[in-house]
Chains A and B, each alone.
Chain A
Amino acid sequence: MNEVFFYLFAGLSVAFAAVAVTAKNIIRGGVALLGSFVALGAVYFTAGAEFVGIVQVIVYGGAIVVLYLFALMTMDLKKMKEDPFRAGSVAIGSFLSLAVIVLLITGGLTVGGEVEPQISGATEIAMPLFYKFLLPFEIVSVLLLVATIGAVAIGRRDS
């Protein structure tokens, strides 16, 4: 049963991704990208990696797609209507995707074997983060604080 859903969502994800690339309307493309990310999150769920699935939906489906859509709305969309399928970009794109596919397939064939299932839960991620790597984690919070202060102080427009 699980496998049915796995292939179903995997197919959905690929189909949405294809729509995202080929859609003429760029907002429609963005929404299709959202669909692809959510379907990919579901794929993680069916593979037993709940935590990664949740993070995928929250981070990619939530934050990143919204960021894309915001960025698109600030641009002048009328200028973007021209045909994206120029010969040069198609050639480069297909070459890169072909190379990645070949790498993935050869990698999948050579690694093989059973993958350890216990690397994806919330506990497995929280334990190193809050126990072993506690100090770097705390320093990162200082880093983010400093960066925020700096961004506000430098970026604020003087009245």
Chain B
Amino acid sequence: MNLNLELMLPEGFLLISALLMMVIDLVISDRQKNSFFSNLSIVVIAITMLLTSGTVSMESNLAFNGFIRKDLMVVLSQLLLLISGIFAVLLSHNYIEKFSLKYKGEYYYTLLFALLGGMLLVAANEFSTLFVSLEVMSISVYILVALFKDDYRGKEAALKYFIMGSVGAAILVYGFAILYGLTGVTTYDGVSELVNKNGVTLALLFSIALVAVAFLFKTGAVPFHAWVPDVYHGAPTPVTAFMGAVVKVASFVAFLRLFFPVFVSFAKNWTPAIELVAVVTMFAGALLALNQNNLKRMLAYSAVSHTGVILAAFVTVPALASFVVLFYLFVYVFVTLAAFGMLSLLTTKGLKGESAEDWGGLYKKSPFLALSAVVIFMSLAGIPPFAGFWAKFYLLTALLREGFITLALAVVLSSLMSLYFYLNHLSMPS
């Protein structure tokens, strides 16, 4: 048995720290909890980042009998998850100061458990590991959404998210069960080998469709996007930022890592479906965002639209997909954290609310924040000097090089449509 435990050092450290925090939570006084645990969480995540950087290597390494695979893409996306975790903790501190939360310790270590689930999810190289780490992440996030006191909107959002997420998880397991029935193994390598040998059958395509549906659920693609606006809107804003960054990155990377090595040999059978979902998602997200008065809902629909754009990059497997998706996610994470972070800042400072009318005259109160809002929204829309443009630029280049001209046109059109609602929010009269 080849455990290769030193490869799992970052995850192990994160797990043990979170468990220790549960014990410390019992002895510390309630007044100090918020500052203490937010500082401790940042230190823990920073050390985990250092340890994770130590596992960087150009070749792929296996741990736990091949149940975990760590290559460059995995380590980079793990670092991305951890950075988002640090930002989410920073946002949470002020939010908890302002709004009452009875379970401060629980909040912080549940956040760490969610990060642990995300880290394992991107590194998973086997079906049951993938499923249980996805559940660790999801259940931690359900808890984070519902944890604030007297926050009925949050509790409603958590219940919706929980029910939808459980259905998604059930569909995922159903797909895995059929795949296991077809091949008799659960590791990616074994399944990929046997699938290549046996050829494409109807049962195989059915199981792949189920697995894809589950991931589309998690990433919030149309027609499985119904939970996104309600949950993004209802959740406490730092948790929304966490969901928008960590859950999205982890689900997309796991999605890509499952479909890229395992099902890539018959990519032409499933890329048309992904292509269709991508186009529908990017336009539906942009259209639905047009009429949103609440800023969080608007950002949620824009997240749906971005999901469509990222999915469009999936059709370029095997050539460019990994690079393009990872780079897009890298940019998207920072812009999303900035957008929701600004909302959180404005609500905790009591400057502005979430509805569009409140935004009029922001420049007079705080010119710096108003200018940041311009930068963030322009970056989300993909206007040239900002990072969002470069993400879309590489994506379009990849699409054009592989000859997906209509898809590239769709990406450009949906970006233009999204520009309307971003600008609309910026031009609110005071």
Binding site for B on A (CB under 8 A): 131-136, 139-140, 142-143, 146-147, 149-150, 153-154, 158
Q: Chain B residues with Cβ under 8 A from A150's Cβ? A: 106, 110, 139-140, 142-143, 146
Q: Shortest 8 CB-CB distances between A and B: which pairs?
A: A150-B143, A135-B64, A136-B128, A139-B132, A153-B103, A135-B67, A153-B106, A143-B136
User: 8 Å CB contacts to A: which residues of B109-144?
Assistant: 110, 113, 116, 120, 126, 128-129, 131-133, 135-136, 139-140, 142-143
Are A131 and B1 neighbours in the complex by a CB distance under 8 Å? yes
Minimum Cβ distance to chain B for residue A39 (Å): 30
Main DSSP-derived SS at the B contact region: helix
How many chain B residues sit at the interface, stated as a range, is: 20 to 34
Q: Given A135-B64, A154-B147 in contact, is the A142-B116 Cβ separation under 8 Å?
A: yes
Instruction: Contact check, B128 vs A149: say whether CB atoms are below 8 A apart.
Output: no
Whole-angstrom CA separation of A85 from B103 in the bound complex = 50
CA distance A143 to B110 in the complex (A): 11
Q: A135-B64, A142-B15 are in contact. List 14 more A-B contacts (CB 8 A).
A: A132-B65, A133-B67, A135-B67, A136-B128, A142-B116, A142-B136, A143-B139, A149-B110, A150-B106, A150-B140, A153-B103, A153-B143, A154-B147, A158-B102
**Which one of A131, A134, A135, A154 has the greatest number of beta carbons of chain B within 10 Å?**
A135
Q: How far is the CA of A150 from the CA of B141 in the complex (A)?
A: 10
Main secondary structure of the interface of A (DSSP, over half): helix
Check B98 for interface membership: any CB of A closer than 8 A: no
Query: Separation in Å of the B33 CB from the closest CB of chain A?
Result: 14
- Judge whether B65 and A143 touch: CB under 8 Å: no
Query: Given A149-B143, A154-B147, A142–B67 Cβ distance below 8 Å?
Result: no
Is the C-beta of B149 less than 8 angstroms from some C-beta in chain A?
yes
Choose from A135, A136, A146, A158 the contact partner of B139 (Cβ within 8 Å).
A146
B68 within 8 A of A: yes
Contact partners of A135 in chain B: CB under 8 A? 64, 67-68, 129
